[in-house]
Structure 1
């Protein structure tokens, strides 16, 4: 019975949030666009959007060598830690373990989301 009342409370809060979003969503969107007007390209034509898309793509492409170098620096740090693992203290080992657990958890969540929020992979 407690679970049913919690579900009803959750549903009521969700309905209240939906009503609030319906009432204030347009005003929030307008205020957000006005606040960030410096990022809006005028006129918003298809050609200008395509140009910006290409700029973003090639900017990201140009940043790959820097990211690649940073990745190898990270790997070198891990190799250094592994070589000196005898000097590793409990705090650093704990941080490394938590980081590994977090990565694994994100992987699992990604798999569940990719399967359509099912645990077994079967859709009902």
Structure 2
């Protein structure tokens, strides 16, 4: 166990050195590549304006997303009515999707409990 801890410490030290050596260059490159998204000069007023634009743009997209949801639901209803014609591949994809949703639910429950598996805090 002590050797694993030493290994972990050395790996963390190597990663820290790598980040300190190459981090600023990566940061500058990232900003240069995305400079069209940067508001100049940065100000509180501009940040407030952008956050309001984002909020109301998302709010305006609700009808479009709602319509897409109802189309998907109609498609699922159609599939359910004609389930005799359903292929094995489609059923397998649906089963995998359901399994993935269940796995994400379980992972969310574990995270919500503070990464404990029993639900009790130790």
| 1:53 aligned residue | 51
CA deviations on 1:10-54 (whole Å, 9 max, x unpaired) are 554343223212322222112111110000001110110010000
Q: In 2 relative to 1, CA 81–5 (structure 1 residues): closer, same or farther, beyond 3 Å? A: farther
With over 3 angstroms needed to count, the CA separation of the structure-2 counterparts of 1:49 and 1:5, relative to structure 1, is: same
Q: Report the equivalent of 1:22.
A: 20
- Count of aligned positions: 122
| Structure 2: unaligned runs, 5 residues or longer | none
- C-alpha RMSD over aligned residues: 2.0
Looking at structure 2, the residues matched to 21 and 61 of structure 1 have their Cα atoms a distance apart, in angstroms, of: 39
Structure 1 residue runs of 5 or longer lacking an equivalent are none
TM-score of the superposed pair, with normalisation by structure 1? 0.86
After superposing on structure 2, the runs of 4+ consecutive aligned residues of structure 1 that deviate more than 4 Å are: 4-11
